[in-house]
Amino acid sequence: MALSQSEQKILVANTAIDTLIEKGLIFSGMKIGLGTGSTAMPAVKRLAEHIKDGTLKDIKAVVTSFQTQNACQDYGIPVYSMNDRAIGGKLDLAIDGADEVDPECSCIKGGGAAHVREKIVEYNAKVFVVIADSSKSVKTIGTKFPVPVEVIAEARIPVENALNELGAVCVLREGVRKCGPVITDNGNQILDCTWKTPINVAEMETKIDEICGVVEVGLFSKNKPIVFISKEDGSVEIRNLK
């Protein structure tokens, strides 16, 4: 029987954590960045199981959202800031979900509005790992799943004008069970952008990040990840793992 999407998320999270331990990329004493979302959460759980059974010791985690912070607190995984001396702004590995992954392993992230801290963590990790179910694997980026841009509230309209100049149609992300816009963990707002035709991901990432008032865009093209993608048939495809 075909696996459901939530079964695929658990499969890919468990496979990635176990494979990365086997390959020595997750190891005792390491500094690890932990992502946000419904695929990252089972990965945090699997990591916690390996800490509990003694496979992993002295793990220092840096989280990407309040969701991940709460999960680490529940599981007893010690949480640090990127700025702590024990971390020194650098991580051995970061693992996270994605909204879309293209054949070059460029991604859209930020469906959970956490892409600012995700990018800080994942662009400062020696190894970046993306875990995703098969629905996230796409040929091109930009026309289907919206690319989130976190903006300073006061700059919303000027940023929207600049994004329109880059061909994007923008929608302010609205809260669910909260009136008005989503307010991110950093106190900002999100413009969700789509284009009529596929975009050049690396060029667009650079151009959007140059707009005054943009905090960060959810395009990830500059630290190419190892990618694990689970399939309905129970297999897991791995890209970029040596």
Q: How many residues bind ligand 5RP (CB under 6 A)?
A: 18
User: 131 forms bridges with which residues in the sheet?
Assistant: 228
Among 31, 109, 119, 173, binds ligand 5RP (CB under 6 A): 109
CB of 186 to ligand 5RP, least distance (A): 12
Q: Is 94 in the site for ligand 5RP (CB under 6 A)?
A: no
Give the neighbor-by-neighbor strand order of the sheet with 219-220.
Answer: 100-101, 107-108, 219-220
Contact 78, 60 (CB under 8 A): yes
- Tell me which of 118, 150, 160, 216 is the catalytic residue: 118
Q: Is 38 in the site for ligand 5RP (CB under 6 A)?
A: yes
Which backbone phi and psi does 94 adopt, to 5 degrees? -135, 140
Active site residue 118: yes
Applying the rule CB under 6 A, the residues between 47 and 66 that interact with ligand 5RP are none
Residue 37 or 142 with smaller CB distance to ligand 5RP: 37
Task: Return the structure tokens found at 205.
Answer: 């990432």
User: 217 forms bridges with which residues in the sheet?
Assistant: 149
Q: Which helix (H) or strand (E) holds 121?
A: helix 115-122
Residue 99 or 216 with smaller CB distance to ligand 5RP: 99
Among 8, 14, 15, 39, binds ligand 5RP (CB under 6 A): 39
Q: Is 100 in the site for ligand 5RP (CB under 6 A)?
A: no
Q: Is 37 in the site for ligand 5RP (CB under 6 A)?
A: yes
Q: Residue 159 carries which side chain, given as an amino acid letter?
A: V
Among 32, 34, 72, 96, binds ligand 5RP (CB under 6 A): 96
Q: Is 114 in the site for ligand 5RP (CB under 6 A)?
A: yes
DSSP 25: S
Strands 169-172 and 125-133: unpaired
What is the CA 201 to chain-centroid distance, rounded? 16
| Rounded Cα gap, residues 99 and 74, in angstroms | 26
Residues assigned a catalytic role: 118
**Residues making contact with ligand 5RP (CB under 6 A):** 35-40, 96-99, 109-115, 118
